[in-house]
Amino acid sequence: MAPKEKKRGIDAVLAPKYKKRRGSATGGVRQLQSSQKLKSGHGDASASAPPPPRAPSRLVELLVFEVMWGFVHATVAQRIAEAARVDGLSHPDLEKLAGIGATGMHKQNTWRDLLRMLKPFSILQALGSFRLTIRTPPWGRRKESLACLWPHKLFSVLYHKYGAAFLSRLCGGSLSRISEFWDQMKDHPAYASLPALSNSTLDLRKKGIPISLHGDGVTCIGIGKKTQKHADVISWSSMLSRGTKTQGINFVILLLFTSMLFARGDVDTLSTVWSNIIWSLYWLSLGLHPDRDVNGRMYDESDGELYINRLTLLADGFFAVLWVVRADIDWLKNRLGLKGLCFLCDAGNTFDTPWTDTRQHAKWISTIWNNATHAARFPNRHALFRKLKGCGICLVIPDVLHTKHLGVDAYFCGGILNFLIWFWMPGTLQENLDELWHDIVDVYTQRKTGHRYTLLTLSMIQSQKSPLPKLSGRGAVIKDFLPVLSEVATKYLDLGKAAHRDMLSGLKNSRRLDQILDGCRGQCMLPADLRVEYRSCSFTYCQAITALIWEYHPHVPAFHFTEKAHLLSHMAVLSEYVNPDLGSCYMGEELMAVMRRIVASSGRGSKPVTVCNVSMRKYVRGVGMDLELPYGIWRI
């Protein structure tokens, strides 16, 4: 008879821990007699006292974990395990891993054998699929099934099978964080329109978990080549569990290559994709198992478990509310169809509301959309904002990474470096650059900066593709470069000139914005005093950019006011009722790197839809491996 499975749901995690009851003094007669025989030398000690089971091999767990996440192939893991066994390491888990693929003789079977030896992960219950029309080259189309990790099913599996993970990764480690979050969100413009407030069966303050939806495009295959392929990755995560590892709290819904998109007449691939995502998020917001499919067909007895579980609770009353939509500007415009000079307000459409106005009380602030005004202005808006109740434009928060660090900061730092090298320092361009780089390296060493540039070239400042200077680099590197550039620029600039003081003021205020968000990371709102300071620093930073444009343009085209500078002002306005860091895509970019690696290991000689499905299965097994580690990964 199979051993009884230990309870792993949320009830087992929150249940009070009772001490094991001790036996009576006269009980356990046979055990006492057996122990006396062993002490007197009679009886078989090996039969009566079997050796205790060994702890799982940390090396094997690490190797399997690396295989599941696409770092190494199963064949490589088998060869490492075999080498460790030859070197004298002895462990049952090591023997299992070294034996896959007939001890490496049949390499093509290593992945199959490994899957057979691992226990069936419970998270696989949440992996499903749906039919959609995709494009076939050059102009054809066909129906295919696309793998999808349903959010509502995953929510239920985490609650019932991985209670500790549900508590830590969705609730932030404590159920009290849910009520704390919603108490601070009462001034949010979207709070009053939440459907959960008018549903008597839902307890928002105690069981309504706020989640975010993230979307981004990533180059997965043939990076840098003419035949490179791009894919869209859509994921969700809890707003309460920030600051932990990316792979543990961001859950991918689906992966879709852009080359598969087909749109002609009434057939649209993206419409089908979003219909299925919205359907899952809708039932997740109710906390119930669905009673109908995405097309509205009611389940019947032929649907099996779907019919049996219809309208039952997903997680004993717990549900999730979509509260933030995170993405870069291009993805918001191309995939969510946000329109206008600014998709968050009506700036630029009238003469008296220019989007370049950087005053703290600019007129465009009064034109910021709420859910109702945006719906009235754009009746044919994206289905996510039109069909999912409570979801609107107020949930979109500009991304700190792409808006500030890769946007405004990149242009501003590039403009200052361009001004110093091309127009201010007396030497040749290369001599000026070498002198600046020498000072930058010295400041890097003194400040012990974490993320650094390893070199600086003229093409990194002034690209041939753009007439305007923009510093290239990763967001974290540009973020840490701000105080370094401020210290270096002070050495060369003339503080007697107002324009030079504006450059240093812009760098100072930009750095202060990062310090405020870094100090409040994990909080859903900024403290009252920091809200005022954040708003002041944001507008002062934008005013410095505007002043430099008026001073030097067009004779010195070093500075530029972009759409992202306007969105930075929006972040200042949003800081009154939400922490702007909640819209950050830093963790989303880390997830994109993980998915790029998984797709690259799955995309050899396969059709795009096959690569998507194989990649999703690998990803789900990687998440399952992470969740199952505390309980053991091998079949009993």
CB-side exposure of 269: number of CA atoms within 13 Å? 22
Report whether 596 contacts 218 (CB < 8 A). Answer: yes
Neighbours of 223 (CB within 10 A): 11
Phi/psi of residue 597, nearest 5 degrees? -70, -40
Q: Residue 411 corresponds to which amino acid?
A: Y
pLDDT of residue 41: 54
In this prediction, the residues of the chain whose per-residue pLDDT falls under 70 are 1-7, 15-52, 221-228, 242-246, 603-605, 636
Distance CA 116, CA 100 (A): 10
CA angle 33, 34, 38 (to 5 degrees): 115
Q: What is the pLDDT of residues 305-317, one digit of tens each?
A: 999 999 999 999 9
For the residues of 434-497, what is the DSSP string, one character each? HHHHHHHHHHHHHHT-SS--S---GGGTS-TT-SS----S-HHHHHHHHHHHHHHHHHHS-TTS
Pairing mode, if any, of strands 208-221 and 319-326?
Answer: parallel
State the pLDDT at residue 265: 83
List pLDDT tens digits, range 462-493: 887 777 899 999 999 999 999 999 999 999 99
Q: Where are the domains of the chain?
A: 58-117, 124-338+382-392+585-631, 400-583
Task: Indicate the DSSP class of residue 167.
Answer: I
Distance CA 495, CA 491 (A): 10
- Give SS3 for 234: strand
Q: Of 398, 396, 404, which Cα lies nearest the Cα of 212?
A: 396
Q: What is the 3-state secondary structure (H, E, C) of 575-605?
A: CCCCCHHHHCCHHHHHHHHHHHHHHHCCCCC
Helix, strand, or coil here: 248?
A: helix
For every residue of 304-318, DSSP letters joined together read THHHHTTT-BSSTT-
Query: In this structure, what DSSP letter does residue 169 have?
Result: I
